[in-house]
Amino acid sequence: MKPVIGITVNYDMGNRIGTHTGLGTPLQDWDYIALDYANAVAASGGIPVLIPNLKNPEDMIPFLDRIDGLLLSGGADIEPALYGDVVKGFCGPIQVRRDAQEMVMLKGAFAKKMPILGICRGLQFMNVGFGGTMYQDLPTEKGIYHSINVAERNHPIHTVKFSGGMIRDIMGVDELGTNSYHHQGLKDIAANGTVTGMTADGNVEVVEFSGGHPFTLGVQWHPEMMYDSPYTKKLFDAFIAAASAE
């Protein structure tokens, strides 16, 4: 049977989606996500299911009994209070409800030893959820620039060097050209995290986390946007295979 992969989504309480598209009305909340994630899951044989940001965090728990793997998607910045920091002027908008709901999903999936793949914010959220911290803005705090929106989304714009681990085994190469769409970056790594991929300018791009399912891994780039890359297929194939084995 094909594994069901739960995909977390963005949350908009500001009417931007509904009123922009003309499909909604003021004061409506909207969930939204790029289709690339679901396409990538489906292309590797999984059944993608979008997980809504329900009002009550405890209402997220039943989803954990119905999914075989969890994909934490990209999106808004994480509330700094979750990693013991205050909001600095260069932090982007946050989505409080998404943070709360995603924490239930992450902790629940981890406790159930379910395969977890984090992408962009998803990697950041895993690190924060397991006790790590963030740079709120890489250009300001670290002097490096990773929000590189100058080409098609599938075009590699920087190189990630793998230092071993599962990511090296999955990809079968020592380094990989990837896209880069993030202004924040990982600072202190959670105690159960091992960095297995970095850029030359010192940004953490892959972390593998212990204590849950062996496939508990996050990447900072957007593999799902690199829809024609064999390495995207390799990564999602490995994730779906891990979820199939449950």
Footprint of Mn ion on this chain (CB under 5 A)? 146, 180
Whole-number Å distance between alpha carbons of 218 and 207: 5
Q: Hey, what are 93's tokens?
A: 């908008």
Q: Looking at 91, 102, 120, 213, which residue is catalytic?
A: 120
Nearer to Mn ion, 5 or 219 (CB): 219
Whole-number Å distance between alpha carbons of 124 and 118: 8
Q: Which residue is nearest to Mn ion (CB)?
A: 180
CB of 193 to Mn ion, least distance (A): 17
Nearer to Mn ion, 73 or 180 (CB): 180
CB of 156 to Mn ion, least distance (A): 11
What is the SS3 string spanning 159-171?
EEEECCHHHHHHH
Residues 125 and 119: beta-carbon distance below 8 Å = no
Task: Give every CB contact of residue 30 below 8 A, 6+ residues apart in sequence.
Answer: 11, 12, 15, 16, 17, 18, 24
CB of 143 to Mn ion, least distance (A): 14
Whole-number Å distance between alpha carbons of 204 and 228: 24
Task: Give every CB contact of residue 87 below 8 A, 6+ residues apart in sequence.
Answer: 79, 80, 94, 136
Nearer to Mn ion, 136 or 180 (CB): 180
CB of 176 to Mn ion, least distance (A): 12
Active site residue 91: no
Active site residue 183: no
Work out the end-to-end distance of the chain between its first and last CA atoms, rounded to an integer number of angstroms: 11
Nearer to Mn ion, 96 or 145 (CB): 145
Nearer to Mn ion, 80 or 177 (CB): 177
Task: Give every CB contact of residue 11 below 8 A, 6+ residues apart in sequence.
Answer: 29, 30, 31, 53, 95, 97, 98, 101
Q: Hey, what are 181's tokens?
A: 């769409």
CB of 112 to Mn ion, least distance (A): 30
Catalytic residues: 120, 222, 224
